[in-house]
Amino acid sequence: MPAAHRILEVLTAGPQTSSELREKLNNEISDTISSSNFGNHLKLLVEKGLVRKEGRLGGRYSLVEARRYS
């Protein structure tokens, strides 16, 4: 499973820091993800609007809730 999908899956448990996310990912899979590769995936998810960063430095990441239009 691609790293971006695993990040989204881990975030279903609630908001987490990037350190917490990376630690959980590396504990769940046999091959570790590098910090730069992880950062790139996380940044891409934020840019696509799937993940939101709360706070500036050292903030927590969470899933963006689905928007419902009526």
> How does pLDDT run across 4-63, given as a tens digit for each residue?
888 999 999 999 998 999 988 888 766 678 888 899 999 999 999 999 998 777 789 999
Determine the pLDDT at residue 50: 94
CA 42 – CA 47 distance, rounded (Å): 9
Count of CB atoms within 10 A of residue 21's CB?
Answer: 22
22: helix, coil or strand?
helix
Count of CB atoms within 10 A of residue 36's CB?
Answer: 8
pTM of the model: 0.80
Q: β-strand 60-63 against 16-17: which pairing, if any?
A: antiparallel
Determine the pLDDT at residue 35: 85
The amino acid occupying position 17 is: T
33 with 22: CB under 8 angstroms?
yes
